[in-house]
Structure 1
Amino acid sequence: MAVQHIKELWQRWQKDFWRVFRFGITGTLCSLIHYGIYCLCLLFTNTTLAYTAGYGVGLVCNYGLTTYFTFRGRPSKCNAAGFAGSHIVNYLLEIGLLHLFLWTGVSKWLSPVLVMVIAVPINFLLLRLVFIRKA
């Protein structure tokens, strides 16, 4: 019985490890897209609009990659609604952190990077609640 329990824990750990690994790939790719759009838009608009534009483009990429690659699922009304809800919370967190960093004197080029370092792990936990349901 104990051996079976250890085997189940090991299998669950492996599954969770690879899910976190795939999320890291997804998060990195979408963050790079987000940051690239932010930098491009920053050349002709303010930080809030630039960040929002980058977030919007990153969001679309993120939904597809998170659904198919990270959690190996299929799109549904339920996970799309949960994804949108978690990203509303995430966007508010990120825009608040962005302005906090800007207010403290961090450059407008570095602030989004610091925001993503804080927000990406929080977003993973929120999305895990959306895509992983306990029976």
Structure 2
Amino acid sequence: MKKLKQLPEFIRFALVGIFATALHYGLYFLFQWFINANIAYTIGYVISFIANFYLTAYFTFNRKPSWRKAFGFGGAHLVNYLLHMGLFNLFLWIGLPKTMAPIPVFCIAIPVNFLLVRFIFKKR
């Protein structure tokens, strides 16, 4: 029963995640033609992080953003960013094209991010 109760929350998280991921990838795709792929990836990540924080707070978990949540969210995303960059560079190193390397990264990092962020915004 508890799992069924979490389904709407997970769906909202997924919608926000799809938007944030599309924003991240879109910005990365645009910038990677002009600047270093790691810098382009980081720019996309940071901008999508800001949008993701506010959408996650208000839409996903129906919570008002606070400095405490911002630091927790930032900490979770620091871990997530390091995971992203490690995987991104691994996939580039094994030979995936720059335009495709983020795709498997998203598939691995998004479930990890959900668990971290859910812990931050969970009612206490």
Range class of TM-score, shorter chain:
over 0.9
Letter in 2 for 1:66: T
Alignment of 1:20-99 (within 5 A): 20-99=10-89
Letter in 2 for 1:123: N
Distance 2:99 2:29 in 1: 7
Q: Which residue of 2 aligns with 1:6?
A: none
Distance 1:67 1:82 in 2: 12
Q: Identity of aligned pairs, percent?
A: 44
- Give the unaligned 5+ runs of structure 1: 1-9
Structure 1 counterpart of 2:114, from 93, 105, 124: 124
Distance 1:58 1:103 in 2: 25
Q: CA deviation at 1:41?
A: 0.6
* Backbone CA RMSD of aligned residues: 1.0
Distance 2:40 2:106 in 1: 15
Q: How many residues align?
A: 124
Distance 2:56 2:23 in 1: 15
Distance 1:15 1:64 in 2: 23
